[in-house]
Structure 1
Amino acid sequence: MAPKIVASYALVLAVMFVVLTVRVVKQRYRAKMSLGDGGDETLQRAIRVHGNFAEFVPFCVVLIALAEMNGSPSWSIHVLGSVLILARLSHAYGITQGMAGMTFRKYGMIGTFIVLLGAALHAVIGG
């Protein structure tokens, strides 16, 4: 059975990834940096938001897809997908705000860890 629910969440996450990529490109153009960050804090933040997304989201999506394929209830797939989107939005916002955004960043990572572990559990247990 092909994962159909997770595909909708993957679409939203793919759009988010493109937006984060464009933000890095814009900051690189502004800072005139083709490689690295040159010590530019705004560029550093954009790179880390993008990088952190790239580090966690694909693994989460794979695990959610496995959970769906193994028969986890559709409501749990929706919860995992929704929490992942909200967590990544919170994390991205938190990093761009510096120290003022630490609460958003913290809850974004906690949400991502919950999805990572919850999806792994659902992938093994199934429905």
Structure 2
Amino acid sequence: MTIPIIAAFTGALLIILQAILMILVGTHRIRNRIALGTGEDLALERKIRRHGNLAENAALFVVVLTLAEMTVVPNDIVRIIAIVFLVGRILHAIALSTVSGSHGAATGKIFQAFRAIGAFSTFGSFIALGGYLLAGLF
């Protein structure tokens, strides 16, 4: 059995990103005295969604990436999928840092593109990882 180094490295980067996003939510709450919910603060709403979206996707991805790396998926494929996922998550987090990226304002189309790339790379990584794993097992 191989040690899942690629998955461990990917998980380390993702948990650091998750911690940064968590700190940004917490400091915004403290600075604006909002204990629960969003207090109708759109900037806080964006920060919460940015943090939550990563949490919704990263854990499952790292678990399945680990299984793929330890079983039948070639390491080069695992590495490529991990890079695509990481880049997508970073672009998505950057996009949700702006009103344009989160609410589609007329300015800042690059942030809307970052959000789309982030979403598609996450989806594509999930499908590719699941597909390679299934194909290798059967």
- So what's the TM-score if we normalise by structure 1? 0.94
Counterparts of 1:77 and 1:118 in 2: how far apart (Å)?
Answer: 10
**Structure 1 residues without counterparts, runs of 5 or longer:** none
Tell me which structure has the larger Cα radius of gyration: 2
Q: Which residue of 2 aligns with 1:124?
A: 134
Deviation at 1:19, TM superposition (A): 0.5
**Structure 2 residues without counterparts, runs of 5 or longer:** 101-107
Counterparts of 2:131 and 2:64 in 1: how far apart (Å)?
Answer: 9
Counterparts of 1:125 and 1:52 in 2: how far apart (Å)?
Answer: 28
CA RMSD after TM alignment: 1.3
Identity %: 31
Counterparts of 1:118 and 1:63 in 2: how far apart (Å)?
Answer: 11
Match of 2:120 among 96, 99, 110: 110
Asked whether the 8 Å contact 1:88–1:112 carries over to 2, the reply is yes
The correspondence of residues 71-110 of structure 1 with structure 2, limited to 5 A, is 71-99=72-100, 100=108, 101-110=111-120
Runs of 4+ in 1 over 3 A off after TM superposition: none
The correspondence of residues 1-127 of structure 1 with structure 2, limited to 5 A, is 1=1, 2-99=3-100, 100=108, 101-126=111-136
- 1:80-107 Cα distance to aligned partner (Å, 9 max, x none): 1111110001001111112232111111
Counterparts of 1:49 and 1:121 in 2: how far apart (Å)?
Answer: 27
SS at match of 2:39: coil
Amino acid at match of 1:61: V
Provide the aligned length of Structure 1 versus Structure 2. Answer: 127
Amino acid at match of 2:14: L
Amino acid at match of 2:40: G
Counterparts of 2:16 and 2:136 in 1: how far apart (Å)?
Answer: 28
Counterparts of 1:30 and 1:43 in 2: how far apart (Å)?
Answer: 11
Larger displacement relative to structure 2 (41-50 or 92-101): 92-101
Counterparts of 1:121 and 1:69 in 2: how far apart (Å)?
Answer: 15
Query: In 2 relative to 1, CA 126–4 (structure 1 residues): closer, same or farther, beyond 3 Å?
Result: farther
Amino acid at match of 2:81: L
